[in-house]
């Protein structure tokens, strides 16, 4: 790795790549730890030495083991000090020049606090709370934005504006500069059932948790019933105390995300609330299989449902309105930890297909395709949520499903819409 120059005189690199020259000052920061715990006076000494070298017109290179985290964080402190710019602006300059956004946020925060001009920076003065919503383009994210109370401003940057896979530092900069007071973490890989998606989802959550820990921001995140998908062949009610038994990449992902978030909460590193739910349907949101049923029903094509060795899958459905009311009641309560919401009953996929066919009125047929293995039929108990905030579903979801399917069939573009 060669020296990456941030300015004509200030650069960073890996210590193994540095070749000292007579006209160059090398600031070695390898004795710093690449985590929390660096002493303010040592950071100030490093920054002062580098600033003095730059003041003498000398090329100054800051190095650490890999030239990624400690060196670039300190370089941002030097840039802020010597050019009289905000530390946030300096960090952005360093990232743009080096391409390194994976700095450890604890090191970045320690450097920021070592600079007198930015240590006590005030947050923006706001007339209402600002909450950062990741994954705002998704179905549940859109539902949150549409139902947010008037005293809360929901910020939902696009992936181009804020990519959670590019480290915690950009997330922290966004949250601090916008005056964010809570993070709603709904971002997920676009294709969720691959092994790659498991790693991406964990990376995104960990970046959010690191920012939340440093800036003391509560985090709210969703989860899904698939954490119980491994209870194959069973028809059961699961509570928050039921041991997870995930199946498939999506189930594994949700289980690992829950475990990571709850571990950070138990260790008091972050304050996380999880709302685990069944499948949500509404005018702008529905499971893919339900959209397929509507599409086929509207054109009179045969609807194909799956049948496993233990029969048709039975699903816990809930309306978008009920999910939103559960979400806002839980978030407003200040409760932390894991909670569940569901529709209160299980509905078979063949029944859903028959209701879609009846709503379309096209006389389409329903066919069954046998799938080897057994399905898990899981209803989510919501007693803990009811006790905490008084929530329960307004009506059994199946009672509202017919109206929803009728509206969907009347809107012939429905099956192609949504997120």
According to the model, what pLDDT value does residue 18 have? 81
CATH architecture of 129-416: 3-Layer(aba) Sandwich (3.40)
Residue 307: helix, strand or coil by DSSP?
strand
Distance CA 181, CA 131 (A): 6
Q: Decide whether 4-114 matches 129-416 in CATH topology.
A: no
Domain ranges of the chain: 4-114, 129-416
Give phi and psi for 385, each to the nearest 5: -65, -40
| DSSP of 217-254 | --EEEEEEGGGGTT-TT-EEEE-TTSPP---HHHHHHH
Distance CA 77, CA 88 (A): 10
User: Measuring CA to CA, which residue among 258, 240, 286, 287 is closest to residue 381?
Assistant: 240
Give residue 409's pLDDT band: very low, low, confident or very high (50, 70, 90).
Answer: confident
Query: At residue 57, does pLDDT exceed 90?
Result: yes
Give phi and psi for 183, each to the nearest 5: -115, 125
Distance CA 62, CA 23 (A): 14
pTM over 0.75: yes
According to the model, what pLDDT value does residue 418 have? 43
> In terms of pLDDT, which residue wins out, 397 or 228?
228
According to the model, what pLDDT value does residue 312 have? 95
pLDDT in tens, 292-308: 999 999 999 999 999 99
> In terms of pLDDT, which residue wins out, 412 or 251?
251
If one looks up domain 4-114 in CATH, what number appears?
3.90.190.10
Distance CA 109, CA 267 (A): 20
Instruction: Give the DSSP letter of residue 162.
Output: -
Tell me the average pLDDT across 129-150: 94
Query: At residue 419, does pLDDT exceed 60?
Result: no
According to the model, what pLDDT value does residue 413 have? 60
Percentage of the residues of the chain whose pLDDT score is greater than 70: 95
Residue 337: helix, strand or coil by DSSP?
strand
According to the model, what pLDDT value does residue 416 have? 58
Torsion of CA 8, 14, 16, 19, to 10 degrees: 10
Give residue 85's pLDDT band: very low, low, confident or very high (50, 70, 90).
Answer: very high
Output the six-digit token pair for 404: 């929803």
């Amino acid at each position: 790795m060669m020296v990456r120059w941030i300015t004509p005189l200030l650069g960073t690199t890996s210590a193994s790549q540095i070749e000292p020259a007579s006209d160059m000052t090398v600031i070695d920061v390898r004795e710093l730890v690449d985590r929390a715990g660096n002493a303010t006076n040592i950071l100030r000494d490093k920054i002062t030495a580098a600033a003095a070298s730059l003041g003498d017109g000398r090329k100054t290179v800051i190095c650490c083991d890999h030239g990624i985290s400690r060196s670039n964080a300190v370089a941002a402190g030097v840039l802020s000090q010597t050019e009289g710019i905000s530390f946030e602006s300096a960090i952005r300059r360093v990232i743009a020049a080096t391409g390194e956004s994976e700095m450890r946020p604890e090191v970045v925060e320690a450097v920021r606090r070592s600079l007198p001009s930015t240590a006590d920076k005030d947050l923006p003065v706001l007339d209402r709370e600002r909450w950062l919503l990741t994954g705002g383009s998704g179905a549940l994210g859109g539902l949150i934005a549409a139902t947010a109370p008037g005293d809360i401003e929901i910020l939902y940057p696009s992936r181009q504006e804020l990519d959670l896979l590019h480290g915690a530092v950009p997330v922290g900069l966004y949250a601090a500069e916008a005056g964010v007071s809570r993070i709603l973490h709904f971002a997920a890989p676009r294709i969720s059932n691959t092994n790659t998606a498991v790693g991406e989802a964990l990376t995104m959550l960990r970046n959010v948790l690191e920012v939340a820990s440093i800036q003391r921001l509560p985090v709210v995140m969703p989860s899904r019933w698939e954490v119980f998908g491994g209870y194959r062949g069973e028809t059961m009610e699961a509570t928050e105390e039921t041991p997870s038994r995930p199946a498939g990449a999506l189930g594994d992902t949700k289980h690992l995300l829950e475990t990571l978030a709850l571990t950070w909460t138990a260790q008091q590193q972050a304050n996380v609330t999880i709302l685990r739910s069944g499948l949500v349907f509404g005018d702008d949101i529905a499971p893919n299989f339900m959209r397929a049923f509507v599409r086929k029903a509207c054109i009179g094509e045969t609807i194909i449902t799956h049948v496993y060795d233990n029969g048709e899958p039975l699903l816990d459905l809930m309306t978008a309105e009920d999910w939103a009311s559960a979400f806002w009641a839980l978030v407003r309560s200040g409760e932390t930890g894991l909670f569940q919401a569901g529709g209160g009953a299980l509905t078979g996929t063949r029944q859903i297909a028959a209701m879609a066919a009846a709503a379309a009125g096209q006389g389409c047929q329903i066919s069954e395709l046998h799938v080897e293995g057994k399905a898990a039929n899981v209803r989510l108990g919501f007693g803990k949520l009811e006790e905490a905030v008084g929530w329960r579903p307004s009506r059994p979801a199946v009672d509202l499903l017919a109206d929803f399917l009728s509206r969907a069939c009347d809107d012939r573009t429905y099956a192609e819409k949504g997120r």
